[in-house]
A and B are shown apart, each in its own frame.
Chain A
């Protein structure tokens, strides 16, 4: 469904960040991307939905039978593909002065005509689906609260509800749990996991132990290259390949 082929990206100062990264992702997969901080995991995710342009290589999205190269698209065509790709960011990216429900509804903006959205022309059906999405992550009762009154865990659940409402083929999650306590971390991942029935998820994570628990596959990145691509259970040897010598599962399992 998604094909990342030979992606390379240099930092602004010319140092190579990503070198020749390739992988395919199918519907139903929950891919966890691991690697030391600064290795370019976030940039890789941003290359997938075109927020960052790779220097070389292509990203091909094939959600409904006709493959499209994301890295070559601009403007309207790029927006059309982005509808099918959801993204959850590190920390909250919600509009704090809007209500929780309105934030969820913005997940549908890609499908709406600009004129309709400027008049807040959300249909009853859309509002109903947005409320169902909130129900799915257990915070329907917060629908009419302003986003700024929510806690970190709740905000991240709103972000998931927005992704559910958007209903993409592919969901990108950039360190979705890095600011959360263990309890909220588990809750957020528990809400993410079942979404793989309808879509593929690619997530960037810090904690290998969590990834092993929830993901169906791990891609490890070191020095800009894929050094591991396979089963979610990692041996000490695998961890060493990803994080360098001297680290064990216990040490990298912070939190």
Chain B
């Protein structure tokens, strides 16, 4: 009895988990033999991709730049908006409680929506192209950065704010000279991180109609031009890597230097 009691705390949850997993595998038709049987087809597809169609690469630069621009514009506009939204959503800056709470609720609602659905929503409003892609990225950047900035603003040391209030500074001056310097590291680091997320999102949004390299990739796969697709994949790898590296360099320059100074 005692042994049963001791083991039941492990046995019951693990049995449940195993049952759920087994059911899930059945429902999703996960079958190793199918994969093994499919391997030759995979190799064939892969062999069709090689060699990549190098000749198409110059023509891919422009769609790649479009993807980059969608991510860049979406991040900059989103980051900028998020700063102001963060101010409105922060307890220690904004005193109108209902407005503050409304903004917080809207932000979390946005975060709950998958980006692709936001994209479809904007496609319905403004049609296909880079514009709805930018709008979708702005919206999802604000959902994340707006909350992070609001939290960062709420955590600043309040004493410098009050000391500036005491000598007659306006709210805008207090935000500029006491709040902004304190949240700058969080502002820079999170916006750069969001840029890295947005560049991937921008490729994905291209697949569903925002243009750019993602659109090119999905079209060439549909037309079974696999060598072209491989060229697009290589360009994507280069694009994402370059963006991450440059974000890292900017982060080090802005935040790192400040720590050293």
Please say whether chains A and B are actual partners in one complex: yes
Interface residues, chain A, with chain B CB atoms under 8 Å away: 49, 51, 78-83, 85-87, 89, 91-98, 102, 106-107, 109-112, 114, 117-118, 146, 166, 168
Distance of A50 Cα from B166 Cα, bound (Å): 8
Interface pair A106/B169, CB less than 8 Å apart: yes
Per DSSP, are chain B's interface residues mostly helix, strand or loop, or mixed? Answer: helix
Q: B170 at the A/B interface (Cβ < 8 Å)?
A: yes
Q: Enumerate chain B residues within 8 angstroms of A118, measured Cβ to Cβ.
A: 172-173, 176
Q: A102 CA to B164 CA in the complex, in Å?
A: 13
- Chain B nearest CB from A212 CB (Å) reads 28
Closest to A117 in B: B173
- CB of A63, distance to nearest CB on chain B (Å): 13
Question: Is B168's CB under 8 angstroms from A94's CB?
Answer: no
Binding site for A on B (CB under 8 A): 157, 159-160, 162-170, 172-173, 176-178, 181-182, 184, 258, 261
**3 cross-chain pairs, A with B, having the tightest CB-CB distances, nearest first:** A110-B168, A82-B168, A93-B163
Instruction: Return the contact of A98 from the options B162, B168, B177 (Cβ within 8 A).
Output: B177
The answer to whether B170 touches A97, judged by C-beta atoms less than 8 angstroms apart, is no
- CA A114 to CA B164, docked complex, whole Å: 13
B159, closest chain A residue (CB): A93
In the complex, chain A residues whose CB is within 8 Å of the CB of B176: 117-118
Q: Please classify the interface of chain A as helix (H, G, I), strand (E, B), loop, or mixed, using the class held by over half of its residues.
A: mixed
Give the chain A neighbours of B168 by CB distance below 8 A: 78-83, 109-111
- Knowing A97-B182, A109-B177, A117-B177 touch, does A87 contact B169 (C-beta < 8 A)? no
Inter-chain contact B170/A93, CB cutoff 8 Å:
no
B1 CB, nearest partner CB in chain A, Å = 56
Determine if B166 and A51 form an interchain contact, defined as CB atoms under 8 angstroms apart. yes
A86 touches B162 (CB 8 A): no
Which residues of A sit under 8 angstroms from B258, Cβ to Cβ?
A: 97
CB of A204, distance to nearest CB on chain B (Å) = 14
Complex Cα distance A96/B259, Å? 12
Closest to A49 in B: B166
Evaluate contact between A93 and B162: CB separation under 8 angstroms.
yes
Tell me the bound Cα distance from A164 to B87 in angstroms.
32
Inter-chain contact B166/A87, CB cutoff 8 Å: yes
Contact B173 A94 (CB under 8 A): no
Task: Give min CB distance, A168 to chain B, whole Å.
Answer: 8
**Among the interface residues B164, B169, B181, which one has the most CB atoms of the partner chain A within 10 A?**
B169
